[in-house]
Every structure is written in structure tokens, then in C-alpha cells.
């Protein structure tokens, strides 16, 4: 019998069969004794093979009962080797029963499965150590890789102070899958601390201050040194560099020469080499530039080096800086003084020239594209009233605009397009005014005259052609060809043809400006999913994971579905990392294992927040002086804790608390996303206790429980339905005593609700186009354990439209209706806490917070209403630069006592009439931030309501005493908040 040999020798072994015959038996035979003998049996040693048996025998050119050909044996070895599943392979042929028995002797290739590291106190974290192993999921595993991985782990541990660390490896072989899971167990030992660093290259008197700058020594009068981490070591070096930069030593050099370890004291002793460099000043002459701007524009500060290339780049940046500010003829040069032992001067000489205004931009010669299409690709902008006082222009910007226009035309078949710019100054006789004339010579458009698509099988032909843009009669461009290539390959990759290729060529017909395009597709074999293997789950139920797989055994091995599976798993919010790979990705085998390895996220998280709000505070205070509230400052603190992956099924339990002058709230919720494995369904249970004084009329203590289902029908449309039960108790109610038994009784409410939301906005934080619509219907009834009975309908529709290039017209319409369904509505009115309240930054800016609508005729405090009608209109526009915008707005609406009292009337009849439409006009400023715009709104309400107030005590009110006063909601309101109004 032949001895197994290495892969590289497999072909040699196969070839030797034709010369050696059978080795290891009693009788030696010649090759001709094997050739032509019927194959009696095909065997594999060991019997458990890494390929499925049907696939294994199907790939062999040998068949039982057919004559043996030694060439077929050699071909069999080559095919088995090409699968990538075998590290060593040989063949043995034995004569028996008048035929031949062929046995393949194999040694399996092992592939990397889960790689985990345990026993490390952070830092470094587990992910850093896993990355340091350089063991890639699904790739071939060799023993020497594990040894190298251990050395890499030790290197990372030492850089973080663990010089006494030990690492052991444990290999878990899974023969059924030819996979090995690798565990690195770390015994980190104690973390070392810094010792006194050695500082070279500076005067002795400077050493102490340099060591202090590192902050490696403990502060706050604590003795000793800090623990070593790689981040702390690098931060110390960076602090030294920044210290020198503050001294204008821009050419300083701080390097870590070596790190010595003292095992006796478990100390790390860094040796630093420091070159202070000369003091350097970078200044400007001819025009002033702030130091911050100079540091941003001149790369000498970032690179800590002075050479001609960096200075040229700095001069170019300064030139563009001045051109952007209207100095279109600005010129910047630089000069260096001869370096002195401890000083060097770099001076940028700026000749700003005259300040111009770009007042006109004209596009000429364009026939295929209209002006608006071209202007969308142009950054240069004529002067505007505020945003760009001198226009937006620089030579660099102009060149980029010309290039963008050329690319637009070339992508649409105009290969010979010419685009140039002509500057006209003075423009129309006005000195200082500049016009830019863009002149376009489109040339002839090249079209595709013929498309030859080869290599596509008939079942794919129609689908592939539908993906192509380069069809006969369409514009020809290499941009379209590249897009076609990507689309076709994505099509094949998503159907398991992982080795698909597409080559293209063209033949030009210059006199007709046409191109013949030839595309040749090599589909390659289709790969299927053999099985999906998972690892790394600890607390998570495996069924939760497998139910979200988009790939099943037997499916085509689709790259897009593999990515879709990753997205679904990340959407659960319980995994810090999801790795997906194909085992043996380069092997030539029909079906492959798909691997998923998980790292579960931390299950507990805590958050603490501090803040403050400026609002009208007054609810709950025992006086009647300010029915509309008075401005006050309210500090706020919040605390939250959550636990992920409850019961291993991806659910989340959370608790959030908030305390401020106007509100104390505790909220607990239980969220079940993708409920019952349905990606578009989520279930939420909520418990709430809230004590608030945001409505000035009363303080409320509310205990509430709710359950809600959310069903996403499409990307834009969501249906919500659920049940809510709450008990609300009112305190410090500031209305006349006759009304308290009617409106201010404790309210126990239980209701079913359902709603539909359609969100088609381009950006929920700062929408510029699209729409948002929501409608909700709620029914409170005794059947649902409610003491009050009503039907509530509310709806909102907002739309956003671009007007020109920079303007956005936004409008929102909101309505609401409360219908008292009690048998005796007069005897059982809807309680105060369940009525509509509105007013403030997010609704009607003619009113302070929650101050719209009907009022108590005795005290002037709001009592809410049973109907809501509101319309908001905003014109949003850029104001200064790219981050500051402005808004002109008009709000109209009110809270009405009933649906029948809804009126569009402008004027208030008297001080007892609140059923009319209140208007507010105003101006706002928006400052763009990553979390949404910060906004300040100033509003004027010309018809803000007047009402009767009361000056006195509760006792005087009860006895009919006190003083009745005439009051009015201030026509002027201001609001400061985050986010757009709608």
C-alpha cells in the first residue's frame, strides 16, 4: 500500500501508479495488469469524509463496473485535491476478484471555526485580542498559526502591562464539519505600573516637567504611578508633543526608544528620546488670519515637519480661503528665514487684492441638459443677501465644478465634451462685480449600436438583459458599462455563482459616433448551502438565531442573503459582533458550509444624565397670579438601566427615571422586537408613574400600564394597536370650586387604540422632502375597566417640498376630536387630564406651553377642550454658511371646547370667547448639529386671547372675594429647543 504524502506530491504519486503498480502487497504487477480491469469497488480511508457521499462519487471519473483507466485515477486525485478539503491524498489500487479495488487514502484539511479569548481584564478587550490572532473564520487551519496567534496575544498583553501573562490554547475538533474551534485561555497576572521614565535629549531641568506632562504619575496628591495600558502610554507621548506645540516648537520629535520591564517591582520603565526642535512661528503678512484658522489650513502643524511641499499646500489652502471670502485675485507666497539655533520663522505673504462679489452665473451651450440639472452639480454660488455675502467661489471649486459637468456629459455618451469658464469683471460696468460664464461644447453623443451578450444561459438571459443600461440606442459611456458589470455580477452572486466573471470590449464606428459592445459572461458553477454552523452563543436561544437565517440547506449560496442575515441578527440589538463567512471559500466543491460566529453584547447597561430646562413653571403652586405661567429654571437629572436578551430570546427590560422641577417620572418597559420570529412585528409592555406640572392649571399623578403591538407593513407604513389602563389624580387644581367636581375628579381610564403611520420623509431629523401621516382612534369604555367613556380621533399630516435649490416649504395639519360616549355627557364630562391641551414650541407658537384653548372664567386657567385644529407653515432657508439656517413661520389653530365650536374666525368676541383661530407669525434660527437642529423661535400673535384672571387666595376664591383682573397671553413668545417643529 502506498504511504500518504503531501499535497504537492499528490500528482507525482498518481503518476507513479503507472510505473510502480501496487506497492506493499506480496505480488508486484505491471501497469498493464491494472489498465482495463473492471472497477469492483471504490473505497475511502477514513470512511468519514469531509464531502457528502453523493457529491464525492459524482465528481470522480471512476465508476464501479467500468474499466479502470490510470488516467482516471490521476484525474480523480486532481479533482479531490481541487476541493480544498484534503491536506494529503494518495491512491491505492489492488487486484481482487478479477477486477480492481481503488482506495483513496486521505488526510482532512481543518478549517477555522470560533476563535475566543477568555480570562483578560480590560483593556485590552476581547475583540482586540481576537483580531490579534489573525485567524480568519472559514480559512484553512495549520498548527503553526495557533503558535503565532499566541505570540501575538502575548505582545498585545505586554503592551497593556501584563508582562507575567501566560496563554494556553485548546483545540476543539469537530470532524463532522472539518472545523476546529480555538480557545485561548489567558492567565493575565497583575498589571504592571509605570516607573520613572528615562528622558533623553533635553536639559536635566526639563525632565521633571516632561514626565509630569505624561500624567503617568498618579495625581490628586496620590502617591505612586498609574497602571500601564497601551492607550495611556500613547496618550502620554502625545501630551508631550502638545506641550511643545504650545511652546511653538512645531518640529519636536518624541519617540519611545524602548520599554524595559522590572520583574522585581512589576514596573515598566519607558525610555523616551525627545528633540524639542527650534521655536517656530508661522505668521501671515499682508492680511490677518486667526491662529486657529492658520493651524487648520497649514499642514505644518499637523505633520510636525517643515518642507516645501507642506508649505506649498498651506499657501494653496490660504489662497482658497481668501477666494471663498470674495478675494478672487488673492495670491499667497511664503518665505523662510535662515534657521537659528533655537528659532525659525515661516511667513506667508498674502496679497488679497480687491474684494469682489460673484453676482452672476451663466450657463451657455447646453442643449441636452437644462440649467437646473447642471446647477445641481455646481458648488460656486452667486452672492446672496446673508448666506454668501460675496458669493461662493474659488479657483479650486471652479475646477471641480467643470470636472463634474464633464463627468455628467461623459456618463451620457458625450465623450468629446468640452467645458470651460470665462470670468467677466467688471460685470455690466460695476467695479467689483464678477460673473462666471460656463461655456459647454457638447459635441456628438455616442450611442450603443449593438450589444452582444455571450455566455449567459437561457434561463438567465431575460433577467440579465433587464439589468443593462448599455442597450442599443442608449448613450454609451464607461460609467454605464461599469454599472452594468456590477449589476450583472451582483445578479449572479445572489444566485450562488460566486466565481462569475464578466469581460467586455467595444468596437467604435467613428463616422456614426456609435459603439458595438460585446459582453462575455462566465457564469461559473453554482454553489449551494450545505449547512449553516453557528457558534459563540451563551445566553441566546439558538432558535432565535436560526429562525432569522435567509439561507437554508440546498439554497443557492447568495452573498446578498448572507448580508441580509447579518442585518437581521444585528437588528435584534443583542450582539456586539456577528461574523459571517463561507468555509473553504476557494475550494472547488458544489456545496459549502455557511458559518456564523457571535459575540453577545453586554447584557446590562446604565446611563446617567444631567441637564436643565427653561420653561414656564407654575403648576401646583398655590397662587393664581400667572395663569399662563412664569419663566423659571429647572435642573433635570435622569437615570436608566436596561437588561438585554431577557430569557435568551432577544427581549429587553428597561427602567428610566427622571426628576426635575416640573416632572418626576419612572418608566419601566419590556420590549420584544421581531416578536415570534416575525421581522416586522414588535410587542411592548410599559409601566409608568408620572408626576408632572407641565400644565399650569393642575399637578397630576399618573400611574399607567400599556401593551402595544407594532406591525410594519412596508418600509414606510406601520400599524400600531394596543390597550392602555391608567389612573390619574389631580392636585392643586386652580379652577373655580364649582367646576372641580365636574372636571377635576380622579380619572380611571382604560381604552383600546389603533393607529396607522406612514413616514416617507427623506430625513426624520431635518426633512427636506416627502411626507408624514399618522391617524389614531381610541375607545374608552366600561368594557375596558374605564370610569369615563369617550371616543378619541387624532390625525396629523405633514409634507415637505423643495423650492428651488435651497428653500424648503414645510406644512403640517393636525386635528383631534373627543366624543363623550357616556349616556349622560353632562353628568359625566370627560375629565380634565384626558382633554386636549396644546401650545408651545412643538405646536402653536402663539401660546406658552399647554396654554391654548378654553379657560376657567373665574381664574383664567386653561381647562382643555374636546377638539383640536392646527396648521403650521414654515419656509426654511439657509442663512449664514452651511450650518445656520432661518425659518419664516405661520401657525394657526386652537383647542376648541367641542367639535361644533370649531371656527376659523380671526377675532375674539369677548374675554369669555376662546373658540376662535389664533395666529402667530415669526422668525426662527436653526443651527445644524449631528443630533438635529438647535432652534430659537420668536413669535408674534396678533390675536392672542384675552381673559379674566383672579388675584387672591383659594379661600377668597371660595368665598367670592379676591380681585378679578383683565389679562392677555403675551403677543410675543420665544422658544428654545432641539429639533424641527415638525
**pLDDT class for 629, splitting at 50, 70, 90?**
low
pLDDT for 623 equals: 57
pLDDT for 631 equals: 61
Q: DSSP 3-state assignment of 967?
A: strand
Pick the CATH number of 279-351 from 3.40.50.150, 3.40.50.1820, 3.10.20.310, 3.60.21.10: 3.10.20.310
Domain 193-275 class? alpha beta
| C-alpha–C-alpha distance, residues 547 and 111, integer Å | 25
pLDDT for 23 equals: 33
pLDDT for 648 equals: 92
| C-alpha–C-alpha distance, residues 487 and 140, integer Å | 31
Cβ-defined contacts of 308-311 (< 8 Å, 24+): 311/336, 311/346
Q: DSSP 3-state assignment of 427?
A: strand
**Other CB atoms within 10 Å distance of the CB of residue 160:** 25
Residues 887 and 874 sit within 8 Å (Cβ to Cβ) = yes
| C-alpha–C-alpha distance, residues 695 and 832, integer Å | 11
* Mean pLDDT value across residues 663-691: 92
Assess whether pLDDT exceeds 70 at residue 614. no
The residue with cell 470560533 is 114
For 422-453, what is each residue's pLDDT tens digit? 999 899 888 899 999 999 999 999 999 999 99
Residue 367 sits at φ, ψ, to 5 deg, of -120, -35
**pLDDT class for 796, splitting at 50, 70, 90?**
very high
The residue with cell 498548527 is 143
Cβ-defined contacts of 12-16 (< 8 Å, 24+): 13/77, 13/90, 13/91, 14/73, 14/74, 14/77, 14/78, 14/91, 15/74
Cis status of the peptide bond prior to 143, with omega within 30 of 0 = no
- Residue among 732, 713, 781, 734 at smallest CA distance from 753: 781
pLDDT for 599 equals: 92
pLDDT for 651 equals: 94
Strands 699-712 and 717-731: antiparallel
For 849-868, what is each residue's pLDDT tens digit? 889 999 988 888 899 999 99
For 692-735, what is each residue's pLDDT tens digit? 887 777 888 999 999 999 999 999 999 999 999 999 988 877 77
| C-alpha–C-alpha distance, residues 356 and 426, integer Å | 9
Cis status of the peptide bond prior to 124, with omega within 30 of 0 = yes
Q: Any idea which architecture 111-187 has in CATH? A: Roll (3.10)
Assess whether pLDDT exceeds 70 at residue 72. yes
| C-alpha–C-alpha distance, residues 683 and 268, integer Å | 54
For 593-605, what is each residue's pLDDT tens digit? 999 999 999 999 9
Assess whether pLDDT exceeds 80 at residue 343. yes
The residue with cell 497593556 is 160
Same fold, 111-187 and 279-351: yes
pLDDT for 1 equals: 32
| Alpha helix stretches (DSSP H) within 534-630 | 542-546, 559-571
pLDDT for 320 equals: 92
Assess whether pLDDT exceeds 90 at residue 746. no
What is the per-residue DSSP string for 723-743? EEEEEEEEES--S-TTTHHHH
Assess whether pLDDT exceeds 80 at residue 29. no
For the structural domain made of 7-108, what CATH number should be given? Answer: 3.10.20.310
Strands 630-646 and 651-660: antiparallel
pLDDT for 979 equals: 80
| C-alpha–C-alpha distance, residues 58 and 45, integer Å | 18
Secondary structure letter of residue 38 according to DSSP: B
Residue 482 sits at φ, ψ, to 5 deg, of -60, -40
Secondary structure letter of residue 900 according to DSSP: G
| C-alpha–C-alpha distance, residues 632 and 384, integer Å | 39
pLDDT for 617 equals: 46
Mean pLDDT of the chain: 89
* Torsion from C-alpha of 13, 14, 18, 21, nearest 10 degrees: 60
For 363-388, what is each residue's pLDDT tens digit? 999 999 999 999 989 999 999 887 88
pLDDT for 220 equals: 77
The residue with cell 452573498 is 559
- Residue among 937, 912, 914, 911 at smallest CA distance from 924: 937
**pLDDT class for 5, splitting at 50, 70, 90?**
very low
All cell numbers assigned to 240: 508631550
Assess whether pLDDT exceeds 70 at residue 934. yes
**pLDDT class for 246, splitting at 50, 70, 90?**
confident
Angle at the Cα of 757 from the Cα atoms of 752 and 760, rounded to 5 degrees? 175
Q: Any idea which architecture 716-978 has in CATH? A: Beta Barrel (2.40)
| C-alpha–C-alpha distance, residues 294 and 350, integer Å | 13
**pLDDT class for 662, splitting at 50, 70, 90?**
confident
* Mean pLDDT value across residues 937-948: 95
* Longest CA–CA separation in the chain, Å: 129
**Other CB atoms within 10 Å distance of the CB of residue 764:** 12
For 545-588, what is each residue's pLDDT tens digit? 999 999 999 999 999 999 999 999 998 899 999 999 999 999 99
Residue 660 sits at φ, ψ, to 5 deg, of -155, 180
All cell numbers assigned to 825: 355627557
147: number of CA atoms within 13 Å, CB side?
Answer: 3
For 636-650, what is each residue's pLDDT tens digit? 899 999 999 999 999
| Beta carbons within 8 Å of 859's beta carbon, 6+ residues apart | 624, 627, 734, 735, 736, 949, 950, 957
* Mean pLDDT value across residues 286-304: 90
3-state helix vs strand vs coil in the chain, percent to 5:
20, 40, 40
Range with lowest mean pLDDT among 250-264, 330-344, 614-628, 804-818 = 614-628
H or E stretch including 776? strand 770-780
| C-alpha–C-alpha distance, residues 214 and 491, integer Å | 55
The residue with cell 423643495 is 802
* Mean pLDDT value across residues 330-358: 89
Domain 528-600 class? alpha beta
Domain 447-522 class? alpha beta
Q: Is the pTM of this model over 0.85?
A: no
* Mean pLDDT value across residues 392-416: 94
| Beta carbons within 8 Å of 290's beta carbon, 6+ residues apart | none
* Torsion from C-alpha of 764, 766, 769, 773, nearest 10 degrees: 40
Cis status of the peptide bond prior to 123, with omega within 30 of 0 = yes
H or E stretch including 959? helix 954-959
Cα 531 from chain centroid (whole Å):
31
**Paired residues of 818 in beta bridges:** 792
All cell numbers assigned to 796: 396629523
For 76-86, what is each residue's pLDDT tens digit? 999 999 999 99
pLDDT over 70 percentage in the chain:
93
pLDDT for 436 equals: 95
**pLDDT class for 747, splitting at 50, 70, 90?**
confident
**pLDDT class for 153, splitting at 50, 70, 90?**
very high
| C-alpha–C-alpha distance, residues 743 and 835, integer Å | 10
**Other CB atoms within 10 Å distance of the CB of residue 363:** 19
The CATH T-level fold of domain 357-441 is: Ubiquitin-like (UB roll) (3.10.20)
**pLDDT class for 305, splitting at 50, 70, 90?**
confident
Burial of 937 (0-12, 13-18, 19+ CB in 10 A): buried
Assess whether pLDDT exceeds 70 at residue 154. yes
Strands 591-600 and 528-535: parallel
| C-alpha–C-alpha distance, residues 513 and 681, integer Å | 55
- Residue among 669, 665, 672 at smallest CA distance from 647: 672
**pLDDT class for 87, splitting at 50, 70, 90?**
very high
Domain layout of the chain by residue ranges? 7-108, 111-187, 193-275, 279-351, 357-441, 447-522, 528-600, 716-978
Range with lowest mean pLDDT among 277-286, 716-725, 761-770, 973-982 = 973-982
pLDDT for 676 equals: 83
Amino acid at each position: 500500500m502506498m504511504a500518504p504524502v503531501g499535497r504537492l506530491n499528490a500528482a507525482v504519486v498518481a503518476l507513479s501508479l503507472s510505473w510502480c503498480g501496487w506497492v506493499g502487497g506480496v505480488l508486484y504487477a505491471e501497469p498493464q495488469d491494472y489498465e482495463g480491469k473492471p472497477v469492483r469497488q471504490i473505497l475511502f480511508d477514513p470512511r468519514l469524509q469531509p464531502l457528502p457521499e453523493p457529491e464525492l462519487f459524482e465528481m470522480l471519473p471512476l465508476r464501479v463496473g467500468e474499466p479502470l483507466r490510470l488516467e482516471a485515477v490521476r484525474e480523480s486525485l486532481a479533482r479531490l485535491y481541487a476541493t480544498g478539503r484534503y491536506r494529503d491524498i494518495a491512491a491505492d489500487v489492488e487486484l481482487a476478484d478479477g477486477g480492481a479495488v481503488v482506495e483513496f487514502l486521505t488526510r482532512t484539511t481543518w478549517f477555522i471555526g470560533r476563535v475566543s479569548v477568555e480570562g483578560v481584564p480590560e483593556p485590552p478587550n476581547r475583540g482586540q485580542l481576537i483580531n490579534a490572532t489573525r485567524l480568519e473564520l472559514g480559512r484553512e487551519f495549520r498548527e503553526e498559526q495557533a503558535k503565532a496567534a499566541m505570540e501575538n496575544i502575548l505582545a498585545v498583553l505586554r503592551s497593556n502591562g501584563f508582562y507575567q501573562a501566560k496563554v494556553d490554547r485548546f483545540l476543539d475538533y469537530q470532524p463532522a464539519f472539518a472545523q476546529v474551534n480555538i480557545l485561548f485561555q489567558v492567565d493575565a497576572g497583575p498589571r504592571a505600573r509605570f516607573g520613572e521614565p528615562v528622558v533623553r535629549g533635553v536639559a536635566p531641568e526639563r525632565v521633571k516637567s516632561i514626565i509630569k506632562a505624561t500624567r503617568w504619575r498618579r495625581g490628586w496628591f496620590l502617591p505612586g504611578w498609574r497602571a500601564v495600558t497601551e492607550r495611556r502610554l500613547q496618550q502620554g507621548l502625545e501630551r508631550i508633543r502638545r506641550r511643545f506645540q504650545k511652546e511653538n516648537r512645531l518640529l519636536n520629535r518624541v519617540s519611545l526608544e524602548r520599554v524595559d520591564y522590572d520583574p522585581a517591582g512589576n514596573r515598566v520603565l519607558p525610555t523616551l528620546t525627545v528633540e524639542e526642535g527650534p521655536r517656530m512661528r508661522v505668521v501671515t503678512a499682508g492680511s490677518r488670519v486667526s491662529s486657529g484658522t492658520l493651524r487648520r489650513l497649514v499642514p505644518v502643524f499637523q505633520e510636525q515637519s517643515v518642507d516645501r511641499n507642506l508649505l506649498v499646500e498651506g499657501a494653496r489652502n490660504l489662497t482658497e480661503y481668501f477666494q471663498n471670502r470674495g478675494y478672487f485675485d488673492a495670491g499667497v507666497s511664503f518665505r523662510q528665514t535662515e534657521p537659528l539655533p533655537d528659532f525659525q520663522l515661516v511667513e506667508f505673504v498674502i496679497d488679497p487684492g480687491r474684494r469682489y462679489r460673484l453676482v452672476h452665473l451663466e450657463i451657455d451651450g447646453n442643449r441636452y441638459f437644462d440649467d437646473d440639472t447642471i446647477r445641481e452639480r455646481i458648488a460656486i454660488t452667486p452672492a446672496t443677501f446673508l448666506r454668501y455675502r460675496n458669493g461662493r467661489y474659488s479657483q479650486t471649486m471652479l475646477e471641480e465644478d467643470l470636472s463634474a459637468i464633464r463627468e455628467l456629459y461623459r456618463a451620457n455618451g458625450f465623450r468629446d465634451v468640452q467645458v470651460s469658464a470665462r470670468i467677466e469683471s467688471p460685470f455690466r460696468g460695476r467695479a467689483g462685480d464678477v460673473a462666471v460664464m460656463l461655456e459647454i461644447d457638447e459635441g456628438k453623443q455616442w450611442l450603443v449600436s449593438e450589444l452582444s451578450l455571450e455566455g449567459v444561459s437561457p434561463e438567465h438571459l431575460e433577467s440579465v438583459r433587464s439589468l443593462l443600461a448599455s442597450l442599443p440606442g442608449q448613450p454609451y459611456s464607461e460609467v454605464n458599462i461599469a454599472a452594468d458589470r456590477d449589476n450583472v455580477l451582483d445578479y449572479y452572486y445572489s444566485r450562488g455563482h460566486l466565481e462569475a466573471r464578466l469581460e467586455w470590449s467595444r468596437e467604435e464606428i467613428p463616422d456614426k459616433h456609435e459603439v458595438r459592445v460585446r459582453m462575455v459572461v462566465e457564469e461559473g458553477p453554482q454553489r449551494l448551502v450545505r449547512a449553516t454552523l453557528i457558534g459563540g452563543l451563551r445566553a441566546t436561544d439558538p432558535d432565535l438565531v436560526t429562525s432569522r437565517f435567509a439561507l437554508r440547506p440546498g439554497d443557492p449560496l447568495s452573498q446578498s442573503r448572507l448580508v441580509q442575515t447579518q442585518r437581521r441578527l444585528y437588528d435584534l440589538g443583542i450582539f456586539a459582533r456577528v461574523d459571517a463567512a463561507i468555509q473553504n471559500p476557494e475550494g472547488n466543491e458544489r456545496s459549502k458550509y455557511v458559518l456564523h460566529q457571535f459575540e453577545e453584547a453586554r447584557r446590562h447597561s446604565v446611563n446617567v444624565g444631567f441637564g436643565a430646562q427653561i420653561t414656564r413653571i407654575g403648576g401646583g403652586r398655590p397662587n393664581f397670579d400667572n395663569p399662563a405661567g412664569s419663566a423659571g429654571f429647572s435642573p433635570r437629572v435622569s437615570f436608566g438601566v436596561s437588561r438585554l436578551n431577557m430569557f435568551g430570546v432577544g427581549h429587553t427590560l428597561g427602567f428610566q427615571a427622571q426628576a426635575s422641577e416640573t416632572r418626576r417620572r419612572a418608566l419601566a418597559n419590556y420590549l420584544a422586537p421581531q416578536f415570534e420570529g416575525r421581522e416586522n412585528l414588535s410587542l411592548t409592555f410599559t409601566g409608568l408613574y408620572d408626576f408632572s406640572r407641565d400644565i399650569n392649571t393642575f399637578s397630576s399623578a399618573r400611574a399607567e400600564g400599556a401593551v402595544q403591538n407594532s406591525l410594519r407593513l412596508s418600509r414606510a407604513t406601520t400599524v400600531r394597536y394596543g390597550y392602555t389602563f391608567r389612573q390619574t389624580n389631580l392636585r392643586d387644581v386652580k379652577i373655580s370650586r364649582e367646576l372641580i367636581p365636574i372636571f377635576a375628579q380622579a380619572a380611571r381610564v382604560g381604552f383600546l387604540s389603533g393607529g396607522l403611520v406612514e413616514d416617507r420623509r427623506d430625513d426624520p431629523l431635518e426633512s427636506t422632502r416627502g411626507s408624514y401621516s399618522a391617524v389614531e382612534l381610541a375607545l374608552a369604555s366600561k368594557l375596558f375597566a374605564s370610569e369615563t367613556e369617550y371616543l378619541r380621533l387624532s390625525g396629523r399630516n405633514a409634507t415637505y417640498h423643495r423650492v428651488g435649490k435651497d428653500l424648503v416649504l414645510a406644512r403640517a395639519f393636525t386635528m383631534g376630536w373627543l366624543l363623550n360616549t357616556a349616556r349622560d355627557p353632562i353628568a359625566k364630562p370627560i375629565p380634565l387630564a384626558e382633554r386636549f391641551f396644546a401650545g408651545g414650541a412643538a405646536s402653536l407658537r402663539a401660546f406658552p406651553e399647554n396654554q391654548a384653548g378654553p379657560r376657567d372664567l373665574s381664574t383664567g386657567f386653561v381647562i382643555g377642550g374636546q377638539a383640536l385644529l392646527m396648521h403650521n407653515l414654515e419656509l426654511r432657508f439657509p442663512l449664514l454658511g452651511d450650518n445656520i439656517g432661518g425659518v419664516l413661520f405661520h401657525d394657526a389653530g386652537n383647542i376648541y371646547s367641542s367639535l361644533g365650536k370649531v371656527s376659523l374666525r380671526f377675532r375674539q368676541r369677548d374675554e369669555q370667547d376662546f373658540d376662535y383661530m389664533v395666529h402667530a407669525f415669526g422668525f426662527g434660527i436653526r443651527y445644524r448639529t449631528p443630533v438635529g437642529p438647535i432652534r430659537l423661535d420668536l413669535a408674534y400673535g396678533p390675536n392672542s386671547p384675552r381673559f379674566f384672571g383672579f388675584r387672591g387666595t383659594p379661600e377668597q376664591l371660595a368665598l367670592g372675594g379676591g380681585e378679578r383682573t383683565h389679562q392677555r397671553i403675551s403677543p410675543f413668545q420665544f422658544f428654545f429647543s432641539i429639533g424641527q417643529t415638525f
